[in-house]
Amino acid sequence: MKTSESRFCKCMYFSSNALARKIEKLAIESWKPVNLSPSHAYLLLMVLDEPGIQPMALVDELQLTPSTITRLIEKLEEKKMVVRTTEGKLTNVYPTPKAKDLQPKLKECVKEFSEKYATVLGADESARLVVSMNKVADKLGR
């Protein structure tokens, strides 16, 4: 059944979750080549872009809870992708050489994911939709 045919199709909660599940499936498929979940991959991209980044900056940027960020970092540590250092009260997260070697593949996954949904929705429509979703999320986050 199409989401638009559901009895709950006029409900933002239902519709946004249906969309999130479909996007998640597409994202998981796109990140398979690097054997990472989308959340792990986006966190790793941030660490690669900003070596020494602090977990709270990851919380803000990825809009996840501190405990979720901690779990993601721990999993990436297990995979030997990041290391944490502590200097006084500050914790910093750094990419490992293994993560640095993976960076081109990570960027390719981002590109592939964007191309997949742009192919379905059209480039202009997908760009407009992302902007609109961000505006709605910002308004609801107040």
Yes or no: say if 126 and 118 are a contact pair by the CB < 8 Å rule: yes
CA–CA dist 45, 103 (Å, integer): 7
In angstroms, rounded to a whole number, what is the distance separating the alpha carbons of residues 111 and 16?
23
- Note down the domain range covering 45: 38-117
Identify the pLDDT of residue 141: 84
CATH number at residue 99: 1.10.10.10
Q: What distances in angstroms separate CA 35 from CA 25, 44, 105, 110, one per listed residue? A: 14, 12, 11, 14
Report yes or no on 32 lying in a domain: no
Give the number of domains in the chain: 1
Residue 122 belongs to a domain: no
Residue 89 lies in a domain: yes
pLDDT in tens, the chain (142 residues): 888 888 998 999 999 999 999 999 999 999 999 999 999 999 999 999 999 999 999 999 999 999 999 999 999 999 999 999 998 999 999 999 999 999 999 999 999 999 999 999 999 999 999 999 999 999 998 7
Phi and psi at 11, nearest 5°, equal -95, 125
Domain annotation covers residue 107: yes
Structural domain includes residue 103: yes
63 domain-assigned: yes
- Residue 77 lies inside a defined structural domain of this protein: yes
Q: What is the pTM of this model?
A: 0.89
Q: Mind spelling out the 3-state secondary structure of 11-27?
A: CHHHHHHHHHHHHHHHH
Concatenated DSSP letters of 48-112: HHSTTB-HHHHHHHHT--HHHHHHHHHHHHHTTSEEEEEETTEEEEEE-HHHHHHHHHHHHHHHH
- Do residues 93 and 58 lie in contact, with contact meaning Cβ atoms separated by under 8 Å? yes
Query: Using the 8-state DSSP alphabet, how is residue 136 labeled?
Result: H
